[in-house]
Amino acid sequence: MPVWGIAAAPVIEGPLLLLQIGGRGDAGVVALDRLSGEERWRALPDRASYATPLVIDQAGQRIAVCWTAQRIVGLEVTSGRLLWETAFPEPARLVAVADPVLDQGRLFFTDYWEGSLMLRVDAKRPAVSRLWYRKGASDQQTDALHAMITTPILDGEALYGVDSHGELRGLRAADGERLWESLELLPKLRWGTMHFVRNRDRVWIFTERGDLAITRLTPDGLTILSRTHLIEPTKAQHARGVVWSHPAFANRAVFCRNDRELLCTSLAAP
C-alpha cells in the first residue's frame, strides 16, 4: 500500500473501468467491466503511485499511459498488453502525484523531488522518446517544475504549474526554461497547492487557502480577473490548515470541501 493510500482516480474508458492499485499477482493496473465490476485484465507487477492513468490515441490505438511507482508505461486498453515503457530518469525518491498531461504529441510528468520529464509520443508506432529532463539541486533549489499535488497545464508553447513551495510558474514547453514565477495567489509554502480547471481561454485556480481565482495564464505571465474566498482551511491534513481536495464544477456552480463541510457556490454572475 502506498504511504498515502490509493489516490489515483478511476478512469472510465468505453466498457472498462481502469484502476491503478498496485495489487499482488501482476495487478499493478487492472481493468474491470464498468457495469458488472468483473475483471477484464490485469497488468504489471509494479507498486502503485498516486497519478491517474491517462488514455491517449497513438498509432491508431487507445493506449493507457500509466505512471507507476517504478516507471512510465503504455498499455493497450483492450487487453492490458505492455506496448512501451520508459524509466523516470531519477526514481530514487519518486512521489508521483500530479497526473501526466498530453498536448501536441508531447507527454509531461513532474515530481516533487525528481523534477520534470517531457516525452515525445511517436505518431506511427507505439513508442515514446525523451525530449528533455530537468531537475534542481533540491526541493528548494528547483529547476523547471518540481510539483507535488498540482497537475500542470501543457498548452502549445508554454507549460504552467505549481512548484515545490507554492510558486506558480510559466515554463517554455520546448525545454523547460522558466518564463515567469508568481506568488500572487499563494505565499511560499512547502507543498503549496492549487488546482487548475481550464474554461476556454481562462483558468479557474482553487488554492489550498480556500480561494477561487479566475485567471489567464500566458507565456507573459499571470492575470487575475476575479478572486474570492470560498471555504476555510482545516488542519487534519496539515498543521497550517489546507484545502487539498480538488473542487468540482457543474451547473454554473463550484463544489468544494474541507474536513468539516461541503460547500456549493453559484458562479452564475453575468
Query: What confidence tens digit (pLDDT) does each residue in 216-252 have?
Result: 999 999 999 999 999 999 999 899 999 999 999 999 9
Query: What confidence tens digit (pLDDT) does each residue in 15-26 have?
Result: 999 999 999 989
pLDDT, position 58 = 97
How are beta strands 54-58 and 248-250 bridged, if at all? Answer: unpaired
Cβ neighbours, 10 Å, residue 252: 9
Query: What confidence tens digit (pLDDT) does each residue in 256-268 have?
Result: 999 999 999 999 9
Taking alpha carbons only, the member of 40, 41, 50 closest to residue 20 is 50
pLDDT, position 91 = 72
Residue 89 or 197, more confident = 197
Distance CA 263, CA 269 (A): 18
Residue 270's pLDDT band, with cuts at 50, 70 and 90, is: confident
Classified as helix, coil or strand, 101 is strand
pLDDT, position 136 = 95
Q: Which three cell numbers stand for residue 249?
A: 464544477
pLDDT, position 221 = 97
Query: What confidence tens digit (pLDDT) does each residue in 87-122 have?
Result: 998 777 778 999 999 999 999 999 999 999 999 999
Distance CA 254, CA 266 (A): 7
Q: Are 109 and 99 in contact (CB under 8 A)?
A: no
Residue 161's pLDDT band, with cuts at 50, 70 and 90, is: very high
Which range, of 52-66, 81-95, 150-164, 179-193, averages the lowest pLDDT?
A: 81-95
Distance CA 208, CA 189 (A): 10
pTM check: above 0.85: yes
Taking alpha carbons only, the member of 166, 158, 118 closest to residue 139 is 166
Query: What confidence tens digit (pLDDT) does each residue in 137-159 have?
Result: 998 999 999 999 999 999 999 99
Distance CA 184, CA 146 (A): 19
Share of the chain above pLDDT 70, in %: 100
pLDDT, position 94 = 78
Q: What is the mean pLDDT of the chain?
A: 95
Taking alpha carbons only, the member of 12, 25, 8 closest to residue 77 is 12
